[in-house]
């Protein structure tokens, strides 16, 4: 490809709207262009990268036994009503109404459609297992699209669905996918780590995310320094620090004028925050919920939402709390009636707590559970923190950040049961098919590759997904000798099937080298009056600083060897 003819231009300045490093570099390199919030076009260079990623993914899916198919983006809304998953997606789902007033969804994911399809063809255990996948656009109305390709509203995704007869079949499919994902990341030179994750709106009982660890990642990960435990903070568990257990003392009221927050109470009474019970109010699908947790801990809203099995969870407003008769700053589980009380299990890790008294400017001393109050549910609903101890090995947990670049789920049978996907087992007994699903966002992976591999001059593409392998640069091409040699070398490389981007523009060496660095093509070949004096070509890897000269007449063989070695 001649750069002079390539559609898309590099930018010198960083566009103001770019809010992540990959976003900045991909815009500056002319690889993507924003069409609307969270909606992007891929320009030819960006699309080449995306297709290379797709090719790697296809190869690994096929090796694992996957069969590619293609499902529609438009889905009958009735399927979502049948599966019961519509409320979990809520406003994330784009819906449209057709001319006959039929409601349709623009697929945020495809479990419904594929389960419906599989149910038509699978009758017996002999038809299973199946691994079916597609590479297709997904639509999710994210509340806050950001980071360029990192969080978008329309994106290209590989989604594979596994269908098995039993649990061990599911485990085997799951392991095949985990291995395939590891292979994909390794080929894209992404050091992904696997972490336990919450299943979220997709549902199911177990899931793992693949994370690219980076300071700017929007997911927080809790991992153990001593064993392999790692989990998204939404899911992470830890051993909570205990406090000394003492014999329960009699309840006492204390006057706490204008003392409201946990820190104010702790300072006023002269105790650490872990000796206080904190009250937090939530609205769960419209119902007010009273949450009680030890004062040094924070509520993990994902765990709380899972415990309540609710679709929409948010902090209650002051007005909602007041309407329910709660006293701001002094609300207490002791003596409260008519409200659902949910407790974190940390309330059992301590004694003689300070808590509110449901009276203004008053608190209670020596509150003990369960002597002084009852709860509707008690479970771990706290945020695990850096510094806590590991549940598996008692080692030290630390916090880091990452970008999610893949998510795999053990779905189980809830969807096949709802959508009627059953099979007859060896004893002719009808049983629901056991499902798993496995997703990789291709644009996210592309952006992650840029986040992972760049310098202050631009992108450094891994060879396997680079838009072109060679950047051929002709310096001072107004010099006919250079122009002629460069044209000939370009033709030779094309004939030999190399992927070459030929900078044939009438630009200064500075502009050409800057663009070569920005675009991140792995191998740069430079011809100039100086290199031609010795009938040679200057060679430079994008990721290295040094250059070397190779004889012009052997260049195609040398380049072939270099690229082969680098693969």
Stretch that binds Zn ion, among 386-394, 423-431, 465-473, 538-546 (CB under 5 A): 386-394
- Residues 376, 358: Cα–Cα separation, whole Å: 19
Closest CA to 339 of 331, 348, 347, 328: 331
Of the pair 232, 330, the CB lying nearest Zn ion is at 232
Of the pair 118, 231, the CB lying nearest Zn ion is at 231
Q: Of 200, 248, 395, 432, which lies in the binding site for Zn ion, with binding defined by CB under 5 A?
A: 395
Q: Which residue has the tokens 């998510």?
A: 407
Of the pair 8, 395, the CB lying nearest Zn ion is at 395
| DSSP line for 235-280 | T---BPPP---------EEEE-TT--SHHHHHHHHT--GGGBEEEE
Least distance from C-beta 232 to Zn ion, angstroms? 16
Q: Are 147 and 102 in contact (CB under 8 A)?
A: no
Report how many residues bind Zn ion under the rule CB under 5 A: 8
- Residues 240, 382: Cα–Cα separation, whole Å: 9
Residues 280 to 339 in contact with Zn ion, rule: CB under 5 A: none
Least distance from C-beta 6 to Zn ion, angstroms? 51
- Residues 431, 415: Cα–Cα separation, whole Å: 13
Q: Using CB under 5 A as the criterion, what x/- string covers residues 201-240 for binding Zn ion?
A: -----------------------x-xx-x-----------
Least distance from C-beta 395 to Zn ion, angstroms? 4
Least distance from C-beta 65 to Zn ion, angstroms? 34
Sign of the torsion formed by the C-alpha atoms of 467, 532, 564 and 517: negative
> Which residues 6+ apart lie within 8 Å of 257 measured at CB?
361
Backbone angle region of 254, left / alpha / beta, with phi > 0 → left and psi within -120 to 50 → alpha? beta
Residue 432 within binding range of Zn ion, rule CB under 5 A: no
> Which residues 6+ apart lie within 8 Å of 429 measured at CB?
none
Of the pair 200, 395, the CB lying nearest Zn ion is at 395
Phi, psi of 178 (to 5 degrees): -60, -45
Residue 393 within binding range of Zn ion, rule CB under 5 A: yes
Report helix, strand or coil for 334.
coil
Backbone angle region of 335, left / alpha / beta, with phi > 0 → left and psi within -120 to 50 → alpha? left
Residue 196 within binding range of Zn ion, rule CB under 5 A: no
Least distance from C-beta 390 to Zn ion, angstroms? 3
Q: Of 49, 390, 493, 523, which lies in the binding site for Zn ion, with binding defined by CB under 5 A?
A: 390
Stretch that binds Zn ion, among 33-41, 164-172, 208-216, 393-401 (CB under 5 A): 393-401
Residue 392 within binding range of Zn ion, rule CB under 5 A: yes
Phi, psi of 52 (to 5 degrees): -70, -40
- Residues 99, 96: Cα–Cα separation, whole Å: 10
What six digits make up the tokens of 412?
Answer: 């189980």
Q: Are 364 and 334 in contact (CB under 8 A)?
A: yes
Least distance from C-beta 226 to Zn ion, angstroms? 5
Residues 25 to 64 in contact with Zn ion, rule: CB under 5 A: none
Least distance from C-beta 392 to Zn ion, angstroms? 4
Of the pair 160, 397, the CB lying nearest Zn ion is at 397
Of the pair 223, 525, the CB lying nearest Zn ion is at 223
Stretch that binds Zn ion, among 117-125, 390-398, 467-475, 544-552 (CB under 5 A): 390-398
Of the pair 196, 517, the CB lying nearest Zn ion is at 196
Of the pair 69, 393, the CB lying nearest Zn ion is at 393
Least distance from C-beta 237 to Zn ion, angstroms? 11
Least distance from C-beta 363 to Zn ion, angstroms? 38
Least distance from C-beta 404 to Zn ion, angstroms? 22
Chain residues in the site for Zn ion (CB under 5 A): 224, 226-227, 229, 390, 392-393, 395
């Amino acid at each position: 490809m001649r750069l002079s003819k390539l559609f898309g231009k590099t930018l010198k300045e960083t566009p103001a709207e770019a809010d992540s490093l990959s976003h900045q570099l991909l815009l500056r390199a002319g690889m993507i262009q924003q069409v609307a919030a969270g909606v992007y076009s891929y320009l030819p260079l960006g699309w080449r990268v995306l297709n290379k990623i797709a090719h790697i993914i296809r190869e690994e899916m096929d090796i694992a036994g996957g069969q590619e198919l293609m499902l529609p983006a438009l889905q009958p809304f009735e399927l979502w009503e049948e599966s019961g998953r519509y409320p979990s997606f809520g406003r994330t789902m784009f819906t449209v109404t057709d001319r006959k007033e039929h409601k349709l969804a623009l697929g945020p994911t495809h479990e419904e459609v594929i389960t419906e399809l599989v149910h038509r063809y699978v009758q017996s255990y002999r038809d299973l297992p199946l691994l079916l996948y597609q590479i297709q656009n997904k639509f999710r109305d994210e509340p806050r699209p950001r980071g360029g390709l990192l969080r978008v509203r329309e994106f290209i995704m590989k989604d594979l669905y596994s269908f098995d007869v039993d649990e061990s079949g599911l485990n085997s499919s799951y392991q095949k996918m985990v291995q395939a994902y590891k292979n994909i990341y390794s080929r894209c030179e992404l050091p992904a780590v696997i972490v336990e994750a919450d299943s979220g709106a997709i549902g199911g009982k177990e899931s793992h995310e693949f994370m690219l660890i980076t300071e700017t990642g929007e997911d927080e990960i809790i991992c153990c320094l001593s064993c392999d435990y790692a989990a998204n903070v939404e899911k992470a568990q830890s051993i909570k620090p205990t406090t000394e257990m003492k014999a329960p003392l009699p309840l006492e009221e204390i006057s706490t004028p204008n003392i409201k927050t946990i820190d104010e109470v702790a300072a006023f009474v002269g105790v650490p925050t872990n000796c206080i019970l904190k009250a937090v109010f939530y609205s769960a699908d419209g119902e007010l919920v009273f949450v009680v947790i030890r004062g040094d801990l924070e509520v993990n809203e994902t765990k709380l939402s899972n415990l309540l099995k609710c679709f929409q969870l948010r902090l209650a407003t002051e007005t909602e709390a007041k309407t329910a008769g709660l006293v701001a700053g002094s609300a207490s589980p002791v003596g409260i009636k008519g409200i659902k009380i949910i407790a974190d299990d940390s309330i059992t890790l301590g004694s003689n707590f300070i808590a509110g008294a449901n009276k203004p400017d008053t608190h209670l001393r020596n509150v003990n559970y369960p002597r002084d109050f009852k709860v509707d549910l008690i479970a771990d609903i706290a945020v695990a923190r850096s510094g806590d101890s590991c549940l598996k090995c008692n080692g030290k947990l630390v916090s880091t950040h990452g970008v999610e670049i893949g998510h795999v789920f053990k779905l189980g049978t809830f969807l096949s049961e709802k959508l009627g996907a059953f099979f007859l087992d060896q004893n002719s007994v009808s049983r629901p098919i056991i499902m798993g699903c496995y997703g990789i966002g291709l644009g996210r992976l592309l952006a992650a590759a840029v986040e992972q591999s760049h310098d202050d001059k631009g992108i450094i593409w891994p060879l396997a997904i680079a838009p072109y392998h060679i950047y051929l640069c002709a310096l001072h091409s107004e010099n006919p000798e250079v122009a002629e040699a460069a044209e000939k070398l370009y033709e030779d490389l094309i004939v030999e099937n190399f992927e070459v981007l030929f900078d044939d523009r009438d630009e200064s060496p500075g502009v050409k080298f800057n663009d070569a660095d920005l675009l991140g093509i792995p191998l740069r070949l430079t011809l100039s009056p100086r290199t031609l004096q010795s009938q040679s070509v200057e060679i430079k890897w994008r990721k290295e600083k040094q250059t070397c000269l190779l004889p012009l007449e052997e260049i195609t063989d040398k380049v072939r060897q270099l690229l082969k070695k680098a693969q």
